[in-house]
């Protein structure tokens, strides 16, 4: 059971990093440092959106935009951090 919890923790950490990469990619596109005319950037952006968007969509209904900044990825990262913290604080000590 502990190995399963650690795998879930790893997957949550990976998903948080993917959300962070999506934020940075959005900023780079917004400042016109990267654009979707490049095949590699477009492919990476599309694959990242396929992974991140299904989770961000319900969060976007709750979290409003702050000016032009989309705060939903930050909310997702905070939620993931809270879940990981709760797992480390309550679940893992009971299994060890």
pLDDT tens-digit map of 32-57: 999 989 999 999 999 999 999 999 99
The answer to whether residue 94 scores a pLDDT higher than 90 is no
What would the pLDDT profile of 3-12 be if each residue is shown by its tens digit? 999 999 999 9
Distance CA 93, CA 84 (A): 13
- Pair of tokens at residue 84: 């990981």
Q: How far apart are CA 1 and CA 93, in angstroms?
A: 12
**pTM of the entire structure?**
0.88
pLDDT at residue 96 above 80? Answer: no
């Amino acid at each position: 059971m502990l190995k399963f919890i650690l795998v879930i923790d790893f997957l949550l950490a990976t998903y948080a990093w993917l959300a962070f990469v999506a934020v940075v990619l959005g900023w780079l596109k917004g400042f016109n440092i990267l654009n979707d005319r490049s095949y590699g950037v477009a492919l990476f952006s599309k694959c990242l959106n396929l992974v991140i968007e299904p989770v961000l969509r319900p969060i976007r209904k709750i979290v409003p935009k702050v000016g032009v900044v989309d705060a939903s990825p930050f909310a997702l990262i905070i939620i993931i951090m809270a879940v990981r913290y709760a797992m480390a604080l309550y679940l893992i000590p009971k299994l060890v």
